[in-house]
Amino acid sequence: MDCAARTHSVVFSALFPKNSANSRVFTVKCSSKNLSLDGASSGLVERPWKVADARLVLEDGSIWKAKSFGARGTQVGEVVFNTSLTGYQEIITDPSYAGQFVLMTNPHIGNTGMNFDDEESVQCFLAGLVIRSLSIRFAPQIGDAQRPLVTIWLKGTSWVYVSPIRVVYKATSHFHFKLWNSSSLIYQPLYHATDDVDTRAITRRLREDGSLIGVLSTENSKSDEELLEMSRTWDIVGVDLISGVSCKSPYQWIDRTGSDWEFNDNGRNKETFNVVAYDFGIKHNILRRLASYGCKITVVPSTWPASETLKMNPDGVLFSNGPGDPSAVPYAVEAVKELIGEVPVFGICMGHQLLGQALGGKTFKMKFGHHGGNHPVRNLRNGCVEISAQNHNYAVDPESLPDGVEVTHVNLNDGSCAGLASSKMKLMSLQYHPEASPGPHDSDPALSVVTEIGMDKALTTVVSLKSSTFWVSKKAKQEISNISNDLSNLSNTVEEKAKWIFNKLKGKPTKSLPDLLREYNLPCGLFPQNITCYEFDESNSKLIVYLPSTCEICFKDSSVMRYATRVKGTLSRGKLAGVDGMKTKVLVWVKVTSINVESYKSDKLWFNAGVKKSRSKVAYEIPRDAVKVEEF
C-alpha cells in the first residue's frame, strides 16, 4: 500500500467515536516498490488534501502568494526560519514553536514520511508552517529499525489510515487516498500550512530585518491592508506562551519508545535517579534520553511551587525548553530562584534563560534567533566544538551575570552565551538541545555525565576542574589538549605584553585603546576587550592595533566582526578610514574599508563593506570578549 497521504498527516486531526473499541487494528508495512513515482502530475497519486490560495503578509509590508494545504482562515504569528535539513516531524510537534510560523529553508519537505516514535509532544503547537515544496511520497524505513508505517482501522468495509497525529484517510485504491467525511469520524485542520512560496527570499529578508510578525490568511474577504494592520498591532514579546503548552498536573513519565531506538539502554530499567522536570514545553526526547540513562522522572507544571518540589526530595531538577519570552513568566523565575542552591539543577533552552534571570542576569531578544540542527558551539573549558540543535529567540547577556557564574559554552556563529555553570550553586545549563531531536548527537554526553555519575557530582566535577570535560571516557586525551591550550594562551599573553612594553619604550601613549577611540568620537567597543597593544602616529593619524590571534565578536545587534592579527587604518574625528584587517558578516564575509559616525549626536554607526550600511552605535559602546577563530 502506498501511503502518500501519510506525509501530510500533520495537517488534520481526527476524533474517533466512543465505540471505536469494537474496531479491529491492522498493521501494514509499505514496500519501496510502490514508491518509484512521485507527484500528482504522474496521475498515480491523488493529493488527499484540499488546496486554497493563501497570502502571507509581513509587518514590513511585503505580501507573499502561496498555496494553503492546512487550516482555513486567518492566523497571526512570528515568522522564524529553521535551517534543518531533516526532522520536520519533531519541529512541528515542538512546543517551543508556539505562536510562531516556522519557515523551512530546506526546499523539499515531507519525503521521509512520519512515524509513531518521533513526536515531541501530544499535538502541534506552532501557529503555522511555511515551505517551498511539499512531497507526496516518503521513503520507508528499512533494516532492523523498521517500524509499521501505516495503521489501518477496519470499520465495516472501509480502510482508514490513521497517522501518529490522528489523521484519517480512506483508501480508495492501491495508490489513492481521499479524506473520509463520515458522521462517525470528524476531521479538522491542526494548523495553518502553505507551500509554493519563495522561502529563501523570505529567509534573506528575515536575516536582514530580523524576525517579523506575519499574518497567514486564506480569506479573500480580508484586504491586504487589513492583514498588514493585524501584523503591525500584534506582538509576541511579553506574552506568556508557556502556560498554553505546559501540563496541567504532575505525572510520571513512562517511556514507550523501543530500546533499540536509543544509543544507551543500560539504565532503562534501573531508575537510579529521581528527577523532577518542570514542563515549560518539554520535548519528549529529553524525557526519553533521561529515562534511557536510568532516571525516574516526575513532570510537573510550569506553575508548580518550589516548596512542593523540595518535598519530593529529588536528586536533581530539570528546567525544560519552552516558547516565548522568559521575562513574561516571572512565576517561573521565582520558582527557579527558590530551588537554586537547594538541589542540583540543569536548564535547557528556556530553562537556561530562566536560570540566567534567576541569577540576576538579563535576557534579550535576538535579531532572528537560532533555529536549526547545525549550530557550532565551543566548549570554553576544553576547546572542543559541538554541532548542536537550537531553537530560541532569546539569549542571556553574559555581562549581566554575577561573579561566580561561569560561561561554559559560546555559539560560534555570533558569540552568544550557550552555557552556564556554577559549582557553588549546583547548577549548569545549555542554550541548545543536548538530546538533539532533530539534530546531531555531539552534546549527548551532557546528559550522560549528569546521570551516570550523579547530577550533584557532575556539577562539582565539571565546573571546578579546569581540564574537565563532558566526554568522561576521553579524559586523558583532553587533559593533554588542555595543557596545549594553556601553553598557547600563555604564549599569546607573553607576546601581547611584550609588544606593550616595546611600545612604552618607544614613547607611545599609555592611554587605553577604548579611551583613544572615545577621544575621536568613535564607540570604544569597536575592538575586542583588553587590547593593550597599539601604535598611533598623530603626525599622520595612522593607527595600528595588534591582536594575539585572529578572532571575532558578535555584538548585541547580532552583527559579527572578524579581526586579523593586525588592523591598520587612518583615525580622524568620528572616522576610521582605509581599514585593513577587519571583516563583517553580510551573508558572506566582506572586508570593512571604513567606519564612521556622521555627527556627534548620531545614534548610527556607518560601515563601508562593499556598500554603506548603518548599525546601532549603542551595540558598540561596550568592549566585548572575542572568540578565537582559525582564519581571517
Q: Is domain 4-233 given the CATH code 3.50.30.20 in the classification? A: yes
Catalytic hit among 90, 119, 386, 435: 435
Average pLDDT rounded to a whole number, residues 70-93: 90
Most confident region among 30-44, 319-333, 414-428 by mean pLDDT: 319-333
Which has more confidence, 619 or 37?
619
Comparison of pLDDT for 311 and 36, the residue scoring more: 311
Give catalytic status of residue 598 as yes or no: no
CB 421 within 8 A of CB 379: no
Distance CA 107, CA 121 (A): 25
pLDDT at 183: 33
Q: Which listed residue (433, 533, 551, 552) is catalytic?
A: 433
Mean pLDDT of the chain: 76
pLDDT at residue 503, as a whole number: 53
Q: Which CATH number fits domain 495-628: 3.30.1560, 1.10.287, 2.30.240, 1.20.120?
A: 2.30.240
Q: State the virtual CA torsion across 228, 244, 72, 178 in degrees, nearest 10.
A: 150
Q: Where are the alpha helices (DSSP H) in 53-164?
A: 88-92
Predicted local distance difference test score (pLDDT) of residue 21: 41
pLDDT at 409: 94
> What confidence score (pLDDT) does residue 489 get?
57
Alpha-carbon span 379 to 431, nearest angstrom: 12
Alpha carbon separation from 338 to 282, 306, 332, 598 (Å, rounded): 21, 6, 10, 49
Quickly state the pLDDT bin for 51 (edges 50, 70, 90): confident
Domain 242-470: top CATH class: alpha beta
Q: How large a percentage of the chain has pLDDT more than 70?
A: 68
Q: What is the average per-residue pLDDT within 438-452?
A: 55
Supply φ then ψ for residue 245, to 5 degrees: -115, -15
Q: Is the pLDDT of residue 305 over 80?
A: yes
**Secondary structure E strands in 413-498:** 417-422, 427-430
Rg of the chain, C-alpha, whole Å? 27
Task: Select which of 3, 30, 124, 349 is catalytic.
Answer: 349
**Which of 64, 113, 120, 69 is closest to 95 using CA atoms?**
120
Q: What is the pLDDT of residues 264-296, one digit of tens each?
A: 555 555 667 899 999 999 999 899 888 887 889
Whether 147 shows a pLDDT value over 70: the answer reads no
What mean pLDDT comes out for the span 361-380? 93
Amino acid at 264: N
Residue 407, pLDDT score: 94
Looking at residue 116, what is its pLDDT?
64
Q: Is 433 a catalytic residue?
A: yes
pLDDT in tens, 88-134: 888 988 999 999 999 999 998 887 776 667 788 888 889 999 999 88
269 or 515, which is more confident: 515
Higher pLDDT, 177 or 118: 118
Higher pLDDT, 499 or 399: 399
% of the chain residues with pLDDT over 90 = 42
pLDDT (tens digit, 9 = 90+) per residue, 484-505? 555 555 555 555 555 555 555 4
Selected residue with higher pLDDT from 321 and 7: 321
For 433, the 3-state DSSP assignment is: strand
* Mean pLDDT, residues 5-32 taken together: 35
Range with the lowest mean pLDDT among 136-140, 179-183, 331-335, 625-629?
A: 179-183
Cα distance between the two ends of the chain: 55
What per-residue confidence (pLDDT) applies to 484?
53
pLDDT of residue 534: 87
Task: Report whether pLDDT(429) > 90.
Answer: yes
Cα–Cα distance between 91 and 85 in angstroms, integer? 11
Fold agreement between 242-470 and 495-628: no
Interhelix angle 350-358/330-339, nearest 10 degrees: 70
Out of 33-42, 201-210, 433-442, pick the least confident.
33-42
Has residue 610 got a pLDDT over 50?
A: yes
- Give the model's pLDDT for residue 359: 96
pLDDT of residue 238 exceeding 60:
yes
Type of residue at 202: I
More confident position, 417 or 173? 417
Evaluate if residue 165 carries a pLDDT over 80: no
Can you spell out the DSSP letters for 162-216?
E-TT--EEEE-SSS-EEE---SS-EEEE-SEEEESS-HHHHHHHHHHH-SEEEEE
| 435 has catalytic annotation | yes
Residue 153 pLDDT greater than 60, yes or no: no
Cβ proximity of 45 and 4 under 8 Å: yes
Domain boundaries, the chain: 4-233, 242-470, 495-628
Q: How far, CA to CA in Å, does 150 sit from each of 2, 168, 182?
A: 9, 11, 20
pLDDT > 80? residue 549: yes
Cα separation, 247 vs 252, in Å, equals 12
Distance of CA 73 to the CA centre of its chain: 29
